[in-house]
A and B are shown apart, each in its own frame.
Chain A
């Protein structure tokens, strides 16, 4: 690791002042940041440890939703009684990510800020537009089995690695941020961005802003019919090739509302609201699910090694919707997850 100075934050104002000064980077769990620093991909001159801030609670909000503290750990969030009861989709998405050790450390805010695991991004011996703008993208014609099929650009075909964020996108979460000039809420859809010609910028967080909470609106109508399906190269503890967060609101044998978000296919969690609309009023079934999948995957293209993701994504969407229609597994979490591979 490159040398850096370290300070422990005592209060939010102190952190925001340090972030304003420009050099400092906040650290919470550190599970991705320290890894990137060891590899020389990121070289912050100053770290501010924000773990002392009072941002680790998970509270019910007045409108029936939840407010997840940015410093609550992924494991504590996934196993929290309110999350398990009201948001089984979020619980199982979190538990599909990383390992128990990492989930015990990784914070919710940090999960949103984690960076792509593109091998070229990680290898400082290769060019990468995301790491060093203007140097090129070897992934386009290189080893791109893990890479994006949607929303790519000439400059970058990296994917966002999070599972949690896929569920948060499906659930219409908001990201609460604060800077010394005030607070604002960013809809989840607008938080992560597509690479376009600035792939080095992962999200719309502005300099000096810190994530304080994640707001999840009430989603009771989806409790009984949701599923997180993650397809990966091994049974557990691997990033998604394709993942799908699906939720259905069923009434009288017809779909009243649907949510479908994909992971592993784009620079951000991918969701197409118009595709969900095609399911409204339909009876749940393979034909309707295939049509919705086609609508979501419109414009998808492969880059060689990842061509298989087009068919895989379609099948995963149909499987996730079929599983959701059958009913959320009672136990939630990893049980729900495993129920689908049995």
Chain B
């Protein structure tokens, strides 16, 4: 039947080219979890309200629950599984550990992907900006201060590495 037609979708997920055939109504989130085996991305509210499903598509963070897989055909998708380089954690993952920004773990993959997207976007100039620009990720454990610490810390590190003076201080207590 025409309505149950399958649509071909090609995606580059965490550096690997993958091909799928999906029904029209399969969201990118469901494709990632149910068909691509990338269960790091979490299904929270499934309505774009919690941010647990945040992934990067062509480097931009989006809610994967609110887009159809067929609409992302040909795109590059990065999930939390794609942030580390082999055994080397992404600097943000390391900072989340050091700042005790992990809580129950359900919101963390989305928080990490969102933070990477935030840095790609380059709009945050202060800790307040970080808080505002992380507001699409809801954490009921209340880890917000530590998450902001971790993001601010990594942004400072990057500024230091490029030789620029940090635009602000972190407030993070790091070993």
Q: Is the CB of B132 within 8 A of A101?
A: no
Contact pick for A102, options B24, B63, B128, CB 8 Å: B63
Given the complex, which residues of A lie within 8 Å of B131, measured CB to CB?
A: 236
Q: Is the CB of B136 within 8 A of A34?
A: no
A-contact bits for B40-73, CB 8 A (1 contact / 0 none) = 0000001110010010000011110011101101
A-contact bits for B136-157, CB 8 A (1 contact / 0 none) = 1100000000000000000000
Considering only CB atoms, which chain B residue lies closest to A28 in the complex? Answer: B71
Q: Give chain A nearest CB distance to B16 CB in angstroms.
A: 23
Q: Is the CB of B24 within 8 A of A6?
A: yes
Contact pick for B136, options A47, A101, A335, CB 8 Å: A101
Given the complex, which residues of B lie within 8 Å of A335, measured CB to CB?
A: 129
B160 at the binding interface (Cβ < 8 Å): no
Q: Is the CB of B129 within 8 A of A334?
A: yes
Considering only CB atoms, which chain B residue lies closest to A333 in the complex? Answer: B123
Say whether chain B's binding surface is mostly helix, strand, loop, or mixed: mixed
Given the complex, which residues of A lie within 8 Å of B66, measured CB to CB?
A: 30-31, 34-35, 102, 105
A-contact bits for B1-18, CB 8 A (1 contact / 0 none) = 011110100000000000
CA distance A334 to B67 in the complex (A): 26
Contact pick for A237, options B3, B4, B70, B135, CB 8 Å: B135
A79 at the binding interface (Cβ < 8 Å): yes
Q: Give chain A nearest CB distance to B126 CB in angstroms.
A: 9
A38 at the binding interface (Cβ < 8 Å): yes
Most buried by A among B5, B51, B68, B114: B68
Q: A3-B3, A51-B71, A237-B136 are in contact. Are A105 and B62 (CB under 8 A)?
A: yes
Say whether chain A's binding surface is mostly helix, strand, loop, or mixed: mixed
B133 at the binding interface (Cβ < 8 Å): yes
Q: Is the CB of B135 within 8 A of A3?
A: no
Q: A3-B3, A5-B2, A334-B129 are in contact. Are A101 and B27 (CB under 8 A)?
A: no
> Interface size of A by Cβ–Cβ distance < 8 Å?
35
Q: Is the CB of B48 within 8 A of A35?
A: yes
B109 at the binding interface (Cβ < 8 Å): no
Considering only CB atoms, which chain A residue lies closest to B70 in the complex? Answer: A6
Contact pick for A34, options B3, B27, B60, B125, CB 8 Å: B27
Q: Give chain A nearest CB distance to B4 CB in angstroms.
A: 7
Q: Is the CB of A31 within 8 A of B24?
A: no
| B-facing residues in A1-58 (Cβ within 8 Å) | 1-6, 8, 27, 29-31, 34-35, 37-38, 47, 49, 51
B38 at the binding interface (Cβ < 8 Å): no
Q: Is the CB of B132 within 8 A of A6?
A: no
CA distance A236 to B133 in the complex (A): 9
Contact pick for A49, options B4, B70, B137, CB 8 Å: B70
A134 at the binding interface (Cβ < 8 Å): no
Q: Is the CB of A100 within 8 A of B121?
A: yes
Q: Give chain B nearest CB distance to A68 CB in angstroms.
A: 19
Q: A34-B66, A100-B114, A101-B54 are in contact. Are A4 and B136 (CB under 8 A)?
A: no
Considering only CB atoms, which chain B residue lies closest to A3 in the complex? Answer: B3
B-contact bits for A271-283, CB 8 A (1 contact / 0 none) = 0000000000000
CA distance A331 to B128 in the complex (A): 14
